[in-house]
Amino acid sequence: MIFEIGNDFARLQEELLKGPIYPDVTPSEIRNYLASRYDFAKSMDLNAVVADVEQMLSTWQVQVTHPRYFGLFNPSVTLASVIADMLVAMYNPQLAAWRTSPAANEIERHTLGWLTAKFGLPAETLATFTSGGSEANLSAVIVALTRAFPRYGEHGLQSLSATPAIYLTEEAHHSFSKIAHMTGLGRNALRTIATKPDLTMDLADLERRVAEDRREGVAPLMVVGTAGTTAAGAIDPLPEIGRFCRDEGLWFHVDAAWGGAAIVSPALRHHLKGIESADSITCDAHKWFSVSMGSGMFFCRHPESVAQAFRADAAYMPGRAMGEAFDPYTSSVQWSRRFIGLKLFLTLAENGEAGQAEMIEHQTRMADVMRKALADSGWRIVNNTPLPLICFTRDGLDLGGFLASLRENQIAWMSEARIKGAPVVRACVTSYKTTENDVRWVVGEMNRLIGCEDAAQLAPAEC
C-alpha cells in the first residue's frame, strides 16, 4: 500500500513542477464548469469524478506545495502525513472519548508529550491537537479567563468587577481580534503595544500600558508574545515578557504557530529561549512541521484550569477507563474530533528528530541564500529574523505590478506585507523541497522583470 501511494505521491509532485503555480481562472468559470457537470441527478463513475477533481485541483488553485511557492505558511507535505490522512479517513476514529479510540488518543498523547518536553514545559502540562492556531489561541484566552476569574465560567463576563485586557503588538496574529469578539471581551479589550525597530514588543510600552490600565480600573489578563510573526518573522522578547508576567500576575501566552517548530532544531532553538515559562503555547504542525492541514496544537501548564474551562458531563458518552485515561471532549473546545495527531506522529517516526531538524534547517539555509542573492542584486531587506522569511523592496518598485508579473509568468508565488506601514514583497521558504537552484533562478527572473538581468553583477545604483 505504501509503495503504491508513494508512487502516486511522487507522480503528483512531478506534475506540479510542470504545471502552473498560480491559476488563471475566474469564479464564474469554475461555477459554470461545476454546474454543467454535477447536478447530482444521477450516479457517476467514481474514477472519472476523482480524475476530474484532481485536474481541477492541479490547475485551479495556488500550488502551495511547489518549491517556488514562497507565500504564507502552507508547506510541502510529507508522504507520511498523506498516508496518515488516508488511514484516519478509513478507520474514522472519534477522539472525543478515550474509551471510543484508545489507540488514537494514546498516540496523540505520546506525540504531544514529546513536544511538551522539547518546549521545556512540565510533564503535567495538558496538550491537545486543534483544528489550527486560531482554536489554540481561543483555548488560551478561555482558560486564562477561567483561571483569573472564578465566576466567569458560570456567570459570564457580566459577573466581573473589571474589564479584562489582552496585550499584544500589531504584528500579532489577527485571530485575537475574532477571539475577543467570540469570548465577549470585545475587540476594544485588545491593547496594541508598540514595537521596537526590529518589530518586536517594546517592554517599556507594555509596562506603561498595564500600569495605566490598572489605574483606570481595567483588569490586565494576558500578554501574547509571538514567536515568528506572520508578516516579518519577528520573535518577541520571550524571557523578558515571561518575567514581567510573573511579576504582574498575568497569563503569558506564546503564539508560536509557525516558529515553534524551531524548538527541535539545535541550530535554532535558542531563538525561542523563554518559551518554557509560558502558561500556554500555540504551535501548528501544518506549518513548519510540513504535515497536511489542519493540525494545530495547544499546550497549557495548568491542567486543572483547562479541565475547569472545558468540563462537560454527558450521560451518553462512554464512561472513563481505568488508570490515567482522559476524555478530550472535557479538555478542549472540540467535541467530535478527528484523529489529527497521526500525521505528525508518522512524520516524526519516519524522519526522527535529526531528520525533522534537517528539514527545518534546510529551509532556513535556503532563506539565507535568497537574502544574499537579493542583497547582492540591489534589493533592500527590511526585516530581521533568523527564520526563513524575507521582506524586501527597492526604490521605485511597482509592488502590485511586480507581484502580478511574478505570478502570471509562473516564476514564483510571493505576497505583499506592510512593514512599518510601507508595502514590501514578502517571501517565506515553506517547502523542504526548495533548492538553491530554485532560489537563484527566481531571483534572476525577478531581476529580469525589473530590467536588471545582470543585477547580480551591478551595483544597486546601476539598476
Which domains, from first to last, does the chain contain?
86-345 (3.40.640.10)
120 CB burial (10 A radius; 0-12, 13-18, 19+):
middle
pLDDT mean over 4-17 = 73
pLDDT for 458 equals 41
At residue 406, does pLDDT exceed 80? yes
Contacts 24+ apart (CB under 8 A), 185-188: 185/141, 185/145, 185/157
Q: How many CB atoms lie within 10 A of CB 421?
A: 5
Contact (CB, 8 A) for 112 and 325? no
Residues 99 and 222: their CA atoms lie apart, in Å, by 35
Q: Tell me, yes or no, if the pTM score tops 0.85.
A: yes
At residue 435, does pLDDT exceed 80? yes
Arithmetic mean of pLDDT over the chain? 91
Confidence of residue 98 (pLDDT cuts 50, 70, 90): confident
At residue 462, does pLDDT exceed 50? no
Question: Percent of the chain beyond pLDDT 70?
Answer: 95
- Give CA 347 to chain center in angstroms: 17
pLDDT for 321 equals 54
For residue range 129-175, what is the model confidence (pLDDT) as tens digits? 999 999 999 999 999 999 999 999 888 888 898 999 999 999 999 99
For residue range 201-259, what is the model confidence (pLDDT) as tens digits? 999 999 999 999 999 999 999 999 999 999 999 999 999 999 999 999 999 999 999 99
Question: Percent of the chain beyond pLDDT 90?
Answer: 76
For residue range 375-384, what is the model confidence (pLDDT) as tens digits? 999 999 999 9
